[in-house]
Amino acid sequence: MAFPSFVAIRAAVVFVASVGAFCTPARAGEVSAVPPGVSTVTVLVCERSEGCPAETRAMVSHLDSLGLPLLSFATVVDAGPAGGSARARYDAAVAAAEKSPTLANLEAARAAMARVPLTLPEDSVFALWVRLGSARLASGDEAGADAAFEAASTTSNGRVINLPSVSDAALARYLYLASAPTGARGRLEVAANAVGTLYVDGERYGETPAAVELAPGWHRVTVERPGRRSAWVAEVQIGATATTSVRADIAGDDGQGFLGTAIEGAMRGVEPPSDAAAALAAWARSQGLKWVRFVTLLPPDQTDAPGVPEEQVEDAEHVPWAVYGTWLDVGRERFVRGGPGPASLRIGGSADRLRLGAGVGYLRLEPWALGGGAHDHVTVELNVRWRITGPWSVDGRAGLMRSAQLYYLREGVFEHDVYPVAVGVRLGDAGGSGRAAGPYVGVHALVVVPLTEGGEVFAGWEFAPTWRWRVGVEARAGVTAGGLTAGAGVTFATGG
């Protein structure tokens, strides 16, 4: 039977149940790395030195219901210049020491800690000192072990619970030193060339200049300037009944520094330093992200809240929290209020996996039967696509095809309606790769009901004029049992 000519209106439907294992969204929880296939992450901003456990639990629970991760704020803070590389070296040294707690590895982690221009949490410093004391004791260096245990004790104010796993001898020696009477306290006076926030052993002590009383012994002092990505750091030895004075020389270069205050400012409409946004955007692009959503959680009746909440969530105890946020537009390297909105996070756990589209174009058919000649067609199609992983997608299409030849407009034209169904794979995804534009190619198995079957290849270039919409041009060619096909068109898609 000769393949008849027709105009195509094609509706594309993708059924992805067979690839569900590949499409399962990343599960939630506070993570220290961006999960693969995620284009938008949420980061909880917490400025309290003791952390925000209740807020974290509430946000983790909320995101877990959507299959989304909560990215650790420390990961973002450490992503920029200065503090980023030093923190990465410190984390690597600590990881090596935890995996193999040899004296050499622990001494290397101690040296890395001294070079980190960031405020470190008390737990991190405390655990390192205790393990280092244990390793020194095992090596026979009792004086060095006592110095490490004393530093751990003064850092943690004599902590005796939740201790790292060390030998019984090391544990007994640490507990003896930690339980000893502290005696008279010393005084630390901190001045600075600019107003900054003072932290001692990870605990906040207000703004500089400041004077605080501390237990005698080793302490780690940091001063952070609002909107910066690194801190001024000093290690001091406080004497009993003595005064120790230090002066913090905080760099005036906004390319360094701690980000918490800058992000909170963005939530309140205060534009942060441009190079801070640029550095964050560069990191986000390297992770394949299009948006980074920074949020803070406050009680719903908070009087000094930063504007209108984006949404309200509850923790496991059903305590309500209002979510306030700012979005980093990675492509434009700037913070915006509202961004794509929380609803963009709710699509199957990854906002850019699902795409709904439509296209219009031209199709030419060369039937095997020479008597019929070539036939021209106008095509209109709908498309549903599901991204599997990276640039790979499952692409399926189905629809109605009808000839554009004028003589088919006579009576009986509806006898020539046929229904093609195409299912295949596509390589290349501008939205999924985090780029604003890009090429793609693909292949379909094609069935034209009730006439014939075959296959086609297609290629195109897709643009992203906005974060949600995609516009592209596409060409295709194929072979069926009834003849050859070739065509081109314009596509439109939305989703992610």
Cβ neighbours of residue 410 under 8 Å, at least 6 residues apart? none
**170, 378, 421 from 363: Cα distances, Å:** 80, 6, 16
Contact 73, 44 (CB under 8 A): yes
Last residue of a domain, one of 116, 147, 178: 178
Q: Note the residue count of the chain.
A: 496
Q: Which domain holds residue 211?
A: 186-248
Verify that 439 and 306 share a domain, yes or no: no
Same structural domain, 319 and 339: yes
Judging by beta carbons within 10 Å of its beta carbon (0-12, 13-18, 19+), is residue 150 exposed, middle or buried? buried
Q: Is residue 1 part of a domain?
A: no
Distance CA 403, CA 3 (A): 12
Domain-located, residue 316: yes
Say yes or no to pLDDT of 148 above 90: yes
Same domain, 270 and 332: yes
Q: What is the model's pTM? A: 0.41
On whether the CB atoms of residues 379 and 362 are closer than 8 A, the answer is yes
Angle between helix axes 142-155 and 122-139 (nearest 10 degrees) is: 170
Query: Which CATH number fits the domain that encloses residue 418?
Result: 2.40.160.20
In the prediction, which pLDDT does 433 show?
39
H/E element holding 356?
Answer: strand 354-367
Least confident interval from 73-82, 113-122, 187-196, 454-463: 73-82
Separation CA 124–CA 154 (nearest Å): 14
| Number of structural domains the chain divides into | 4
171 in a domain, yes or no? yes
pLDDT at 135: 95
| Coil, strand or helix at 457 | strand
Q: Is 122 within the bounds of a domain?
A: yes
Higher pLDDT, 180 or 426: 426
Same domain membership, residue 264 and residue 228: no
CA 412, CA 421: separation in Å to the nearest integer? 24
Q: What confidence tens digit (pLDDT) does each residue in 132-143 have?
A: 999 999 999 999
Closest CA to 217 of 147, 112, 145, 321: 147
CB 22 within 8 A of CB 388: yes
In whole angstroms, give the CA distance from residue 294 to residue 202. 22
The reply to whether 440 falls in a domain is: yes
**Residues 437-492 pLDDT 10s:** 678 999 999 887 777 788 999 999 887 665 567 888 999 898 888 778 888 888 88
What CATH number is associated with residue 194?
Answer: 2.60.40.1120
Q: Indicate if 483 and 410 belong to the same structural domain.
A: yes
- Quick one: CA dihedral 203, 208, 211, 217, positive or negative? positive
Do both 110 and 198 map to the same domain? no
Handedness of CA 354, 358, 361, 365 (dihedral sign): positive
One domain for residues 489 and 419: yes
Residue 2 lies in a domain: no
Report helix, strand or coil for 194.
coil
Q: Is residue 432 part of a domain?
A: yes
* Co-location of 74 and 152 in the same domain: no
Which of 157, 178, 199 lies at the terminal end of a domain, its last residue? Answer: 178
Assess whether 362 and 454 both reside in one domain: yes
Residues 341 and 358 in one domain: no
Task: Choose among 456, 445, 492, 494: nearest CA to 473.
Answer: 492
178, 203, 229: which is the final residue of a domain?
178
Handedness of CA 357, 358, 361, 367 (dihedral sign): positive
90 and 49 together in one domain: no
Is 361 inside a domain boundary?
Answer: yes
The CB density around residue 403, as the number of other CB atoms within 10 Å, is 23
Question: Is 103 within 8 Å of 133 (Cβ atoms)?
Answer: no
Cα-Cα-Cα-Cα dihedral sign, residues 270, 271, 272, 273: negative
Lowest mean pLDDT among 200-214, 249-263, 311-325: 249-263
Same domain, 99 and 172: yes
| pLDDT tens-digit map of 33-91 | 887 777 888 999 876 656 788 888 889 888 877 778 888 887 776 555 445 556 677 88
